[in-house]
Structure 1
């Protein structure tokens, strides 16, 4: 008669033995898309809970072993992320536990976590506010004592084309010259009325929704501060998308667009300058995408901090 203890002890473990004709070391093995709750402080001191998906991996440097212990990784992720807020120390401890549970198989571990963080953003003029959901992707790795922590997000904003604005102004000038005889004195009230008519805005520059995708590497001893990162970028751009919008907010947004004409190159340089000033960041990678309203394709620019051995700016999705 089998007891439960005997039954468990007799369960086969085929992953423990390699098939001779398939032996070989593997770079990474693990699971992706693990559903788990996470607790995250975006930088304002409030810890919010979110639904996340995690990826947990270790390498398999033993060619004579067929596989790793997937269930160990799953249980470690579930217990750690459910119990502690996301911090550099917590993630390093979790990766250390990956390696401790696979000390006979692995010497490298990595973890990715993806979720959305809701941040309340104020309206431009009306005093209202609304929620913006910023995607967050955290990636951490541990190789020996070398711990690397990166995270990324996206900022959505409006970009108005400087070339299109100049062409529009030229058309408005030409219309003004047609409507007002240069030999006659200008009447203030007539000109003011003309400026408020459709003839006074004969052409408008094209603008488009644009996206800045950010990937940053936290400096040693640094902390997550999503709100500070987003604030720096949105202030540098000047035209982040809005939440609650009354007419006075929309008018303020139109003014901001007219005051912040930018090509994708300008946007990338603005963000680069803003992030260069952040001592919490050891490195960063920027991808700016202007989803053109004039063309069926996008205008794209990349930038990085430019540190030795850092991200670099190789074009990628």
Structure 2
């Protein structure tokens, strides 16, 4: 059908220069994760190592992506897909890469009540194959709450000073103190907290046979202790306030907690943790970064 149609890509270029990457961005693809279909966007490409070649065969890459709709997303599937990218570009390319961007939707229970709701987790999977060497990276973004230890200490000091003022020279009665503690007059200051974000870049061991999205998210949220909630009742909101009060953290604390938790994961060859606390006191963010590579 195409025998009589010109194929300009097969012509030689007038500028014989190899290119590091040629491909397509933002291809709509369906994935299968845990048996469910997930909408995603793919960036697919190969290196153009043959300097004289005018271009690659982008339609071949596009058609190979159909494999993502048929089988569960796994390292083996990506290795096979990237291998097909290179096979379809024999003599042209030595390196193939694929990036997938999607959102996982996980149902999360409330802290106390029987309520639950859906929560979204932005995810990316980056894969590159050169020769027989496969590189895999997961990128996960988690939202959580962080309460400032400094403002908590300052708030406690103000409460102590108000207590000294209100009860100076008076005999203390438990009922009066309890009422005072529950009044705006007594709790004159509260610490500030902010919605925060953990950005995880996780290098996987090439021998890994599955993507443990749920486990990684659960372990990271457990390390932080104050993941943002979905559906809540007042009892859940109170439990969340308690969790924040018992998990005061600077961005440095959050980065170290995540570092310690992720080092326990045997499938990780290395990682970068970046936490961003969107300050409620300042108009700028507080950020901490931690990196680790398995020795």
TM-score range, shorter chain: over 0.9
2:29 equivalent to 1:36:
yes
Question: Per the alignment, in what secondary structure is the counterpart of residue 104 of structure 1?
Answer: coil
Match of 1:314 in 2: none
Of 86, 105, 118, the match for 1:118: 105
CA-based RMSD of the aligned residues comes to 1.0
The number of residues matched between the two structures is: 294
- Give distance in 2, aligned partners of 1:231 and 1:284: 17
- Per the TM alignment, residue 18 of structure 1 is displaced from its structure 2 partner at its CA by 2.8
2:67 equivalent to 1:80:
yes
Match of 2:43 in 1: 55
Contact 2:205 2:267 in 1 (8 A): yes
Question: Per the alignment, in what secondary structure is the counterpart of residue 185 of structure 2?
Answer: helix
Question: Per the alignment, in what secondary structure is the counterpart of residue 224 of structure 1?
Answer: coil
- Give distance in 2, aligned partners of 1:108 and 1:237: 38
Of 258, 265, 281, the match for 2:252: 265
- Per the TM alignment, residue 294 of structure 1 is displaced from its structure 2 partner at its CA by 0.5
2:16 equivalent to 1:23:
yes
- Please, which runs of 5 or more residues in structure 1 have no aligned partner? 42-46, 309-317
Match of 1:313 in 2: none
- Per the TM alignment, residue 27 of structure 1 is displaced from its structure 2 partner at its CA by 0.1
- Per the TM alignment, residue 245 of structure 1 is displaced from its structure 2 partner at its CA by 0.6
- Give distance in 2, aligned partners of 1:203 and 1:152: 38
- Give distance in 1, aligned partners of 2:183 and 2:104: 43
2:261 equivalent to 1:274:
yes
- Please, what TM-score do these two structures have when normalized by structure 1? 0.91
- Give distance in 1, aligned partners of 2:191 and 2:273: 26
- Per the TM alignment, residue 16 of structure 1 is displaced from its structure 2 partner at its CA by 1.4
Contact 1:218 1:224 in 2 (8 A): no
Contact 1:268 1:288 in 2 (8 A): yes
Match of 2:227 in 1: 240
Contact 2:134 2:206 in 1 (8 A): no
Of 129, 153, 159, the match for 2:140: 153
Which portions of structure 1, spanning 4 or more consecutive aligned residues, are displaced by more than 3 angstroms?
Answer: none
- Per the TM alignment, residue 23 of structure 1 is displaced from its structure 2 partner at its CA by 2.0
- Please, which runs of 5 or more residues in structure 2 have no aligned partner? none
- Give distance in 1, aligned partners of 2:236 and 2:219: 21
- Give distance in 2, aligned partners of 1:268 and 1:108: 34
- Please, what TM-score do these two structures have when normalized by structure 2? 0.97
Question: Per the alignment, in what secondary structure is the counterpart of residue 199 of structure 1?
Answer: coil
